[in-house]
Amino acid sequence: MPTESIGNELALLLGIAWLLPLAGFAVEIFGGFLWPRVSRTAAYIAVACIGIGFLCSFTALMKWGNATDWVVLKGTDSHHASAGEHGGEGHGDEGHGDEGHAEEAAHAEHAEGEESESGVHHDAVATTFSGTMYSLGTFGGLEVTLDWYIDSLTLLMFTMVTLIATCIHVFAIGYMSDELTEDHVDHEVHTADGGHFHRPGRFYKFFSYMSLFCFSMLGLVLAGNIFQVFVFWELVGICSYLLIGFYVERKSASTAANKAFIVNRVGDWGFIIGLMILWTYCGTFRFVGEESTDGHAAKPGLFEMVRGNDGQIDVNEEEDVVYLRDAHGHRLEDPETHEPKTIPYALLIVAGLGVFGGCIGKSAQFPLQTWLPDAMEGPTPVSALVHSATMVAAGVYLAGRFYPVFTPEVLLTIAYIGCITLFLAATIAVVATDIKRVLAYSTISQLGYMMLGIGLGGWAAGLFHLVTHAFFKSLMFLASGSVIVGCHHEQEMPRMGGLRRKMPITAYTMLIGVIAIAGLAIPGTVIAFSGYHSKDAIVATALAHTNLNPGHFLLFIVPLVTAGITAFYMFRLWFYTFAGEPRDQELYDHVHESPWVMTGPLLVLSVFAAGCAIGGEQGFLYSMLSHSEPAGVATGVEAAAVSLPGHDLIHDVHHEAGVMALFAAVSGAIIAYLLYGAHVLNPADIQRHFTGLYTFLVEKWRFDDLYDAMFVRPSRVVAGWCAATDRVVFDGILHGACRAAINISKWDRLFDEGIVDGLVNLVGNVVFGIGRSLRVVQTGRLRQYIMFIAVGVLTLFVLLFAFFPKY
């Protein structure tokens, strides 16, 4: 079958892209012993691995497009498109860049009616492919496997991750070059004698960790079942741990690394609970069923089971039990009892919330957001790759990927969590002064937007924002890295200022990123940065949602206001850092523009940050994404509790929402300009007026203190109790028993020695005494003896006669 072979071909390409970094990791970590410290070999290997990975991913994307005749770009109503008609056209697309497709998509969209796609991609041309790589264990009818699952989302994520990772790897060659020495001085660590800490450089180690991270991240995206996602989820977690704690000598770094991992584990706890429920009731982890190759009935996957083939959850009349269904929409039966397979509705909610708990941890959503700002202890390329573009977005990716299993209640929770997070993080970002921390909070906030989008039913909008955000945020992080290198590891913005004159490339690429995240555009023209399109899509979804559910109006108001705040703090950052006059002349004098190896990636990324979303909802990116949209999203959901808007409703309010969002963003940007660019108002005055609020925000809403008091200290106390229980109770019981045994044996000894032995001795002593006393009688005199005899006999006779006189 041709679809089989294209599926395998794609899997092979993505598999290479996935496994190459692992091989790179192995070579780099062991090669560290062979190469001199000043060798850049590790970096070249890492770049080569991820670069080839990008080429493979891109090739796979093209192949997928050709194999599916670019149905994506011809509009979503692909049912009528025959393979032959567009075959030649598809082959011609190989050499085009993204923009080319986007234009084509725009054409296709015009020819398109209002009819939205049904979400089933198996009809004309197969566009999703899945298969099994590896079995981890088989237990009767249960099997835990590693699978692959490829659709347009997977391909896009692969391409995006590998592209950004390649740029960041190249950037890191420059950024980490101070590690290329036998004697690296860490100015942040002081030894006991007061000097700076010296150590050999760890250039190779950094790149090996980065390669391991790429492997884990790509594995996560390629995963074909939720268990496998969990596996790589943990692996990216440990890579993040290693990279945050890269400067192992810094106490703050290792603490931040621990915090990141442990907070993530809290989310993973929820993830495991979700896994347990799904595993127990569905008996499979796979997203979609296995291909029925040998004519046997295919085993359905989780998505079909919960959502059937029409995107609807099959609930019974009381709405407390969900019937599990197969790919054709028939209810599944237990093979032995012939009763329908079901899952309680409440448990489906719990499972969804559980899995989303994992997403909360990984994507640093409220209430587990506290680890991400601390994670900025890692080197800046790590922050760019792991903690903004890829790993933290994995939570959003999973929320999107696992969308079919989420019930409306779970989606509403996701929306509210996202809403809280985006506001909370944005407010903190307003007062942060560390350049990386501002970006970190902005990342949390943007991730909140993505979650909000997904939770409101704007599936493609959320993931759209994921991709655009990945580009502009990694761009901004790299630019901040460039600033940090330029300023000799100074990260406090109040000491900077006016840097644009010294480092123009960094400043203006950063500006592109700032404009992109703020979502600025000139309405009515094609001049619109990527963030405009994606944030616009989310806000439009929110507006449509609010129209349907007026009770949840906050889900629209808050993101709209926050859009303004976002623009404000991002422009604040830019003005603070690059504009105006230098605030620290000594620092300023030593600032220099970064070398090409660092500014090159900035330029590449700035192109994508500006233009990756070109065409908006008719563009290539959005079309690709919405092609993978789960069944039933497009039509929306009408329900008593919460209704989700369909594509039509969103489309209707799109323009309105766009204007509102743009207005918010522009006002934010203008306020920032007035405060920090034009100095119309003095920010310090405002700060003095709101001291309480300011302190509250600077202390990050006091979450760290709260968690410390609520969890960390209590768990230490409980731990102390447990250890004390062991010492006091269990060992106490044991020692008590031993003491009792010893006492008993002491008594036993007394009894033995006093009474048992005493009796025996007494008998002996008495007999001895008697014998001794009789010794006197034994004189040895013959005549005396005779006298005794005579007297004795006489006495006997006398007694005899006295007592028995009768005889």
Partner 1 sequence: MSLSPTFLLTAIIFTPALGALFLAFFNKKAVEPMRMTALVFTVVTFMLTLFLLNDFSAAEPGIQPVQEDGTRGVSHVWIESWNINYQLGYDGISVPLVLLTSFICMLAMLASWSIEKQVKGYLILYLLLETGMLGVFLALDFFLFYVFWEVMLLPMYFLIGIWGGPRKEYAAIKFFLYTLAGSILMLIAMLMFYFGSSNLPGGSSFDILALTQIGQGNVAGITFDRTVQITAFILLFIGFAIKVPTFPFHTWLPDAHVEAPTPISMILAGVLLKMGGYGILRIAFPICPVGAQYAAYALVVIGAVSIIYGAFAALAQTDFKRLVAYSSVSHMGYVLLGIAVWKIGEDSAAVGRDYWLMGMNGAMFQMLAHGVSSAGMFFMVGVIYDRVHHRDLNQFGGLAGLMPVYTGLAAGIFFAGLGLPGLCGFIGEVFVILSAWNYSPVLAIIAASGVILTAGYILWTIQRVYLGPEYKGPHAEAIVPMNYREMTVGAILLVFAIILGIYPESMFGIMRESMAYLVQSLDQGYQNYAAAVQSTSEAISGILK
Partner 2 sequence: MEVGLNHYLFVGAVMFVTGVICMASKRNGIGVLMGVELVLNGANVNFVAFARYTALGLDGHVIAMFVIVLAAAEAAVALAIALNFYNNHLTIDVDRGDELRG
Could you tell which of partner 2, partner 1, none binds residue 687, using a CB distance below 5 to 8 A set by kind? none
Could you tell which of partner 1, partner 2, none binds residue 136, using a CB distance below 5 to 8 A set by kind? partner 1
Least Å distance, CB 713 to partner 1, is 12
| Residues ≥6 apart with Cβ < 8 Å to 701 | 424, 427, 428
Least Å distance, CB 776 to partner 2, is 7
Report the SS3 class of residue 379: coil
Written in H, E and C, the secondary structure of 157-223 is HHHHHHHHHHHHHHHHHHHHHHHCCCCEEEEEEECCCCCEEEECCCHHHHHHHHHHHHHHHHHHHHE
Which is closer to partner 2, CB of 522 or CB of 791? 791
Which is closer to partner 2, CB of 678 or CB of 787? 787
Could you tell which of partner 2, partner 1, none binds residue 783, using a CB distance below 5 to 8 A set by kind? partner 2
Quick one: which of 493, 471, 256 has its CA closest to 373?
256
Alpha-carbon span 464 to 654, nearest angstrom:
15
Could you tell which of partner 2, partner 1, none binds residue 779, using a CB distance below 5 to 8 A set by kind? partner 2
Helix (H) or strand (E) holding 481: helix 459-486
Report the SS3 class of residue 229: helix
Quick one: which of 220, 207, 216 has its CA closest to 239?
216
Alpha-carbon span 123 to 749, nearest angstrom:
92
Which is closer to partner 1, CB of 522 or CB of 722? 722
Q: Which residues contact partner 1 (rule: CB under 8 A)? A: 135-142, 144, 186, 189-192, 197, 199, 230-232, 234-235, 238, 241, 245, 248-251, 254-255, 257-258, 261-262, 265-266, 268-269, 272-273, 275-277, 279-280, 283, 715-716, 718-726, 730-731, 734, 738
Which is closer to partner 1, CB of 387 or CB of 473? 387
Least Å distance, CB 707 to partner 1, is 13
| Residues ≥6 apart with Cβ < 8 Å to 666 | 520, 567
367 upstream amide cis, omega within 30 of 0: yes
Which is closer to partner 2, CB of 293 or CB of 773? 773
Dihedral sign, Cα of residue 311, residue 317, residue 323, residue 328: negative
Which is closer to partner 1, CB of 590 or CB of 739? 739
Could you tell which of partner 2, partner 1, none binds residue 276, using a CB distance below 5 to 8 A set by kind? partner 1
Least Å distance, CB 730 to partner 1, is 4
Least Å distance, CB 82 to partner 1, is 44
Which is closer to partner 2, CB of 775 or CB of 806? 775
Name the amino acid, one letter, at 124: A
Least Å distance, CB 799 to partner 2, is 19
Are residues 618 and 611 in contact, defined by beta-carbon separation less than 8 angstroms? Answer: no
Q: Which DSSP category does 550 fall into? A: G
Quick one: which of 306, 526, 317, 336 has its CA closest to 404?
306
Least Å distance, CB 782 to partner 2, is 5
Which is closer to partner 1, CB of 62 or CB of 218? 218
Least Å distance, CB 404 to partner 1, is 21
Alpha-carbon span 621 to 105, nearest angstrom:
9
Could you tell which of partner 2, partner 1, none binds residue 261, using a CB distance below 5 to 8 A set by kind? partner 1
Least Å distance, CB 163 to partner 1, is 26
Could you tell which of partner 2, partner 1, none binds residue 786, using a CB distance below 5 to 8 A set by kind? partner 2
Which is closer to partner 2, CB of 747 or CB of 768? 768
Which is closer to partner 1, CB of 345 or CB of 449? 345
Helix (H) or strand (E) holding 110: helix 98-110
CA angle 600, 601, 604 (to 5 degrees): 90
Could you tell which of partner 2, partner 1, none binds residue 111, using a CB distance below 5 to 8 A set by kind? none
| Residues ≥6 apart with Cβ < 8 Å to 41 | 31, 35, 204
Which is closer to partner 2, CB of 295 or CB of 780? 780
Least Å distance, CB 8 to partner 1, is 22
Q: What is the DSSP string of 500-531?
A: GGT-HHHHHHHHHHHHHHHT-B-TTSS-B-HH
Q: Which DSSP category does 287 fall into? A: S
Q: Which residues of 736-748 are buried (b: 16+ CB within 10 A; e: fewer)?
A: eeeeeeeeeeeee
Least Å distance, CB 787 to partner 2, is 5
Are residues 104 and 67 in contact, defined by beta-carbon separation less than 8 angstroms? Answer: no
Which is closer to partner 2, CB of 740 or CB of 793? 793
Could you tell which of partner 1, partner 2, none binds residue 273, using a CB distance below 5 to 8 A set by kind? partner 1
Which is closer to partner 1, CB of 333 or CB of 656? 333
Least Å distance, CB 733 to partner 1, is 9
Which is closer to partner 2, CB of 297 or CB of 787? 787
Could you tell which of partner 2, partner 1, none binds residue 268, using a CB distance below 5 to 8 A set by kind? partner 1
Least Å distance, CB 781 to partner 2, is 6
Helix (H) or strand (E) holding 139: strand 129-139
Q: Which DSSP category does 329 fall into? A: S
Alpha-carbon span 276 to 259, nearest angstrom:
25
Could you tell which of partner 2, partner 1, none binds residue 277, using a CB distance below 5 to 8 A set by kind? partner 1
Least Å distance, CB 272 to partner 1, is 5
Which is closer to partner 1, CB of 63 or CB of 184? 184
Could you tell which of partner 2, partner 1, none binds residue 777, using a CB distance below 5 to 8 A set by kind? partner 2
Which is closer to partner 1, CB of 144 or CB of 603? 144
Q: What is the DSSP string of 622-691?
A: HHHHHHTPPTTTTT-B--SS--B--HHHHHHHHHHHHHHHHHHHHHHHHHHIIIIIS-SS-HHHHHHHTH
Least Å distance, CB 245 to partner 1, is 7
Alpha-carbon span 42 to 241, nearest angstrom:
20
Residue with tokens 């075959």: 87
Q: Which DSSP category does 402 fall into? A: T
CB burial of residue 52 (10 Å; 0-12, 13-18, 19+): middle
Which is closer to partner 2, CB of 641 or CB of 794? 794
Least Å distance, CB 798 to partner 2, is 15
Angle between helices 391-401 and 226-244 (to 10 degrees): 170
Q: How far is CA 644 from the centre of its chain?
A: 26
In angstroms, the Cα distances linking 201 to 32, 184, 185 are 11, 5, 9
Could you tell which of partner 1, partner 2, none binds residue 367, using a CB distance below 5 to 8 A set by kind? none
Q: Which residues contact partner 2 (rule: CB under 8 A)? A: 774-783, 786-787, 790
Least Å distance, CB 801 to partner 2, is 16
